[in-house]
Chains A and B, each alone.
Chain A
Amino acid sequence: MAVPRHNQFFIDPNRCIGCQACVQACSECDTHKGHPMIHLEYVDRAHSVQTVPVVCMHCEAPTCAEVCPADAIKRTEDGVVQTARKPRCIACNNCVLACPFGVPEMETELKLMMKCDMCYDRTSVGKKPMCATVCPSQALFFGTMEEIERLRPRSTPINQFKFGRQIIATKVHIMIPKTGRAAYIDVTAAMDERSMGKDITLMILDEMLDVRG
């Protein structure tokens, strides 16, 4: 079985409300029972409520698989980068350190790397991944390109990311403004960017002051 080509994964971190529903649902997945593989990250916990759900982006040329000395990470024909093969993984941590999105997790006790495999037990039979099924704000959306275009008329999906001089293409898309027309998201350019909460608060305050003024 394979993930149907028309079904795509779209992430809009802007919509994330940090409710943890995705984390709880993820641990229900049959391929990694009891271990949530999604990261729900606080971007700057001290100053902002901004959160981001990070799943495996399923790169077309996965760095994690390339740097694996045991050849334990395989990409299926339908483009899903699988979690480490249990007989092969030697728990070296290369994949954890090399993934540009910071996705794989090392279970040191189990001598095993585990990561999101897009709920392959579900998506390969036409169902949605657990996280996308429960996400109340639809920050995690699994469906067709037509659906996302209809539901998010101001956004457009992008699956090219720049890290330093390296551009990585992925199976999973991130939603960006339609008018931006960026060829890729430059991740390293956001190194010194401040969390969104701060900026939005200040902008709202500025606007309020303008109105009153």
Chain B
Amino acid sequence: MAKETIKATLWGALVTSALAILIIVGSRNLAHFDAALVGYTFAVLFATFGITYRYAMWLQRPPTALYWKRGWQVFFRPRHLSRNLAQWFGRVTGEFALNRFIFRRSKSRWAAHWLIMWGCVMAMAITFPLVFGWIHFETLPEDIHWYRTYIFGFSTFAFPIHSIFGFMIFHGLVWASILVIAGVMLAMRRRMRDHGAAALQQFGEDFLPLILLFAISVTGLMLTASYSWMKGYGYDFLAILHAITVIFTLLWLPFGKFFHIFQRPAQLGVGFYKDVGERSAQAQCRRCKEAFASRMHVEDLIKVEQQLGFKYEIDDATEHYQWICPRCRRSMLALAQGREWNEEVKR
């Protein structure tokens, strides 16, 4: 087995074991663990292993490894730390909570993504702690109309069951489903009408995630409809159907489009790397003498290219093709072709 694979397998095993231990500890030796949800738990544990394995493999690719290392280095550089911390909060809000960069790409794309993202975040924040037995509710001995919330087995706040707060809490997954379904509808509309999307989209990469999210949301809503208005009609069947959709999605999480959820935070590290690069020494094109990138970036890229086996070294004062700016590269293509024709004229 390759060294990278062994490393990724060990990381996967470590993180999965840590989560398993947290489930046992957080549910107080499984005292608050709901055995009916065991299928979900094992699916999450599998997904954790898969995601960690893929993430660890991804981090070992030369360009990713370098950015990972540099991202942390530039973030904690004492000279830039206070500014970086301030920017971190701004970026987490603007880029992650609000998805501002997607808004600039397209408003309909943003609306779809934002609704799906917050629907999924809400749903995960509710279901994962419940499945792991980290949160449970108990009625108060003195008043059965009140619930007390226990987090990791510790007693916290109490609230009346038949209150607006109680209604909102216990229907949290309904609100999440509505957000997700609205987002999926917008995304599906774009995929069916946009010519550009139609040319590039693939079933597994682009439609399957939407179908899965829709299936989870609709079967979840059907459960609520069954016990709220239909006296539990078909509840057992619906519960199994819902479990199948969720478990399939969890198992597929490490392999498909949803993996971008775990890759996206790299954007933060890249942001700090670029900021520090802009404030540092610049690389001058060795042909036109214009600055075109940070010196750090060019030097790092040369290392990455060498690790990948590219041989862009030049045997003169230019040293490496990476020291030529993109504009000069475009011009040089024309000049190189012109050179062939000039030689033809001379012949």
Residues of chain A whose beta carbon lies under 8 Å from any beta carbon of chain B: 1, 12-14, 16, 29-33, 39, 41, 43-44, 50-52, 54, 63, 66-71, 82, 86-88, 90-94, 96-103, 109-112, 117, 120-121, 124-125, 161, 163-166, 174-177, 179-180, 182, 185-191, 193-196, 199, 203
Contact = CB atoms under 8 A, between A and B. Distances in A.
Contact of B347 (A94, A165, A179): A179
B6 to A, nearest CB: 21
A188 B335 contact: no
Interface string B307-341: 01011111100101110111111111111111111
Given A166-B312, A190-B336, A176 B341 contact: yes
B321 A163 contact: yes
Given A31-B196, A166-B310, A112 B297 contact: no
B300 to A, nearest CB: 9
A30 B195 contact: yes
Interface in B249-278: 257, 260, 263-264, 266-267, 270, 273-274
Contacts of B328: 102
Nearest to A44: B331
A102 to B, nearest CB: 3
Contact of A191 (B264, B267, B318, B344): B318
A193 B333 contact: no
B304 interface: yes
B155 interface: no
A44 B287 CA distance: 12
Interface stretch (B23-31, B57-65, B156-164): B57-65
A110 B340 contact: no
B256 to A, nearest CB: 11
B345 A87 contact: no
A199 B336 contact: no
B142 interface: no
Contact of B263 (A12, A50, A70, A165): A70
A131 B297 CA distance: 33
Given A33-B196, A87-B260, A121-B196, A186 B336 contact: yes
Contacts of B46: none
Contacts of A94: 63, 301, 304
B305 interface: yes
Interface of B is mostly: helix
B192 interface: no
Contacts of A30: 194-196, 199
Interface residues of B, number: 67
Contact of A180 (B273, B338, B344): B344
A98 B320 CA distance: 11
Interface string B176-204: 00000000000000000011101110000
Contacts of A70: 64, 263, 266
Interface string B98-120: 00010011000100000000000
B267 A90 contact: yes
Given A13-B338, A67-B301, A87-B260, A164 B199 contact: no
Contact of B321 (A29, A43, A100, A180): A100
B120 to A, nearest CB: 14
B263 A41 contact: no
Contacts of A163: 312, 321
A177 B344 CA distance: 7
7 contacts: A13-B334, A71-B58, A87-B260, A163-B321, A165-B312, A185-B340, A199-B342
Given A41-B334, A187-B333, A97 B298 contact: yes
A161 to B, nearest CB: 8
Contacts of B305: 63, 67, 98
Given A69-B67, A177-B341, A179-B347, A90 B264 contact: yes
Given A69-B266, A124-B199, A190 B327 contact: no
Nearest to B328: A102
B239 to A, nearest CB: 32
Contact of B310 (A31, A54, A66, A177): A66
Given A31-B199, A164-B314, A186-B336, A102 B329 contact: yes
Contact of B297 (A87, A97, A111): A97
B69 to A, nearest CB: 11
A196 B338 contact: yes
A88 B260 contact: yes
Nearest to B293: A97
Contacts of A67: 63, 301, 304-305, 308
A14 B318 CA distance: 27
B330 A39 contact: yes
B7 to A, nearest CB: 18
A92 B194 CA distance: 27
Contacts of A52: 330-331, 333-334
